């Protein structure tokens, strides 16, 4: 006959308050039978928040907003060519005489508004002195594009440097030794202002600020001169135009061409030189830096 196995603590069970297989039962604080300790359960995992519709709207819509903004900026520049017009071109336009060949009808429409008058041209300013000096300009002249004609009679350095309204020295417009006579541009760069001219000299000098309209005019095929010069090209160059140039000096020979929107270096040599270069279409002005005689001929 087979006997049933006895519990671990004998046939009569474990002592009171003890689990049959070890440990102790918890007695309820409110009386009643002892209870087993509750089993531990891990907390439920947190649910990750999904990205709402506002986030995806921003991600998808932002590139389109930037794209349309760039297109609007480009369109604004294209519809407003004056925003890229150089200060020299603006000064050239305001100094150009009215078109005498216009053939507008006498009986214009009553709704047509009269054209606005051109901006008044600045009057020439003449200054003279000797030796080193800081020449302060009128505030109304600070931002104008000037044709500056200078002379110096001396044997040492003659250096003229613009000073901006803060007193900072800009690149020299003239840097020569001994006697000098020539014409250069002032404030030809966009946003440039000149409050004074710093002059270094050992002799007598004169400085005349003139409107650009008083520059020499290159109206035919040939143009000749000596030293630094500024010349208006009238009419502006058109099509393929080349220039045969010659210089007989010993120092820099630099020629630049100006159009409505650009400035192009044509020649940058030292000493005597001759050669042929293309003249950009739409050239309205040329500037020459030289120490000797030079000549140009269109072909």
Give the pLDDT of residue 63: 64
Q: Rounded to an integer, what distance in angstroms lies between the CA atom of residue 250 and that of residue 101?
A: 45
| Per-residue model confidence as pLDDT tens digits over 252-271 | 999 999 999 999 999 999 99
| Per-residue model confidence as pLDDT tens digits over 14-68 | 555 555 555 554 555 555 555 555 565 666 666 655 556 666 666 566 666 666 6
144 in helix, strand or coil? coil
Q: Among 163, 196, 199, which Cα is nearest to 180's?
A: 199
Q: Among 81, 95, 93, 87, which Cα is nearest to 191's?
A: 87
Q: Among 264, 278, 271, which Cα is nearest to 293's?
A: 271
Domains assigned to the chain: 81-93+121-214 (2.60.120), 215-299 (2.60.120.1050)
CB neighbours (10 Å) of residue 207? 21
85 contacts 260 by C-beta, under 8 angstroms? yes
| Per-residue model confidence as pLDDT tens digits over 80-116 | 444 456 667 666 666 554 333 333 333 433 344 445 5
Give the pLDDT of residue 39: 60
Give the pLDDT of residue 96: 54
Omega of the bond leading into 221 within 30 degrees of 0 (cis):
no
Our CA angle for 209, 216, 100, nearest 5°, is 105
Taking residues 112-129, report their average pLDDT.
72
Best mean pLDDT range from 42-46, 69-73, 74-78, 227-231: 227-231
Q: Among 227, 111, 212, which Cα is nearest to 176's?
A: 227
207 contacts 259 by C-beta, under 8 angstroms? no
Query: DSSP state, 131?
Result: S
Give the pLDDT of residue 104: 34
Place of tokens 């020539």: 182
130 contacts 201 by C-beta, under 8 angstroms? yes
**Higher pLDDT residue, 287 or 37?**
287
Q: What is the pTM of this model?
A: 0.65
CA 141 to chain CA mean position, Å: 23
Q: Rounded to an integer, what distance in angstroms lies between the CA atom of residue 222 and that of residue 231?
A: 12
**What secondary structure does DSSP assign to 182-209, as a single string?**
EEEEES-STT---SEEEEE-SSEEEEEE
Q: Rounded to an integer, what distance in angstroms lies between the CA atom of residue 196 and that of residue 137?
A: 5
Q: Rounded to an integer, what distance in angstroms lies between the CA atom of residue 104 and that of residue 54?
A: 60
Long-range contacts formed by 133-139: CB under 8 A, 24+ apart: 133/199, 133/201, 134/163, 134/196, 134/197, 134/198, 134/199, 135/196, 135/197, 135/198, 135/199, 135/207, 136/195, 136/196, 137/194, 137/195, 137/196, 137/197, 137/209, 139/195
């Amino acid at each position: 006959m087979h006997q049933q196995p006895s519990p671990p603590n004998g046939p009569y069970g474990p002592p009171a308050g003890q689990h049959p297989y070890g440990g102790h039962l918890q007695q309820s604080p409110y009386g009643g039978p002892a209870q087993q300790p509750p089993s531990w359960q891990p907390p439920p995992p947190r649910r990750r928040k999904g990205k709402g519709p506002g986030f995806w709207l921003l991600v998808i819509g932002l590139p389109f907003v930037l794209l349309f903004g760039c297109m609007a900026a480009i369109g604004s520049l294209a519809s407003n060519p004056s925003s890229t017009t150089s200060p020299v071109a603006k000064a050239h336009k305001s100094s150009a005489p009215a078109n005498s060949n216009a053939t507008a009808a006498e009986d214009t429409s009553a709704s047509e508004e009269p054209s606005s008058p051109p901006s008044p041209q600045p009057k020439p300013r003449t200054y003279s002195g000797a030796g080193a000096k800081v020449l302060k300009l009128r505030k109304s002249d600070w931002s104008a594009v000037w044709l500056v004609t200078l002379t110096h009679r001396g044997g040492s350095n003659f250096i003229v440097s613009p000073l901006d309204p803060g007193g900072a020295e800009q690149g020299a417009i003239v840097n020569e030794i001994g006697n000098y006579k020539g014409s250069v541009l002032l404030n030809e760069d966009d946003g440039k202002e000149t409050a004074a001219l710093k002059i270094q000299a050992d002799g007598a000098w004169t400085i005349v600020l003139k409107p650009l309209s008083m520059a020499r005019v290159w109206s035919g095929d040939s143009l000749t001169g000596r030293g630094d010069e500024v010349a208006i090209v009238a009419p502006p160059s058109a099509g393929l135009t080349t220039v045969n140039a010659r210089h007989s000096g010993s120092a820099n020979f630099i020629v630049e061409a100006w159009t409505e929107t650009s400035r192009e270096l044509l020649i940058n040599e030292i000493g005597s030189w001759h050669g042929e270069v293309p003249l950009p279409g739409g050239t309205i002005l040329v500037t020459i830096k030289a120490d000797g005689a030079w000549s140009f001929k269109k072909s």
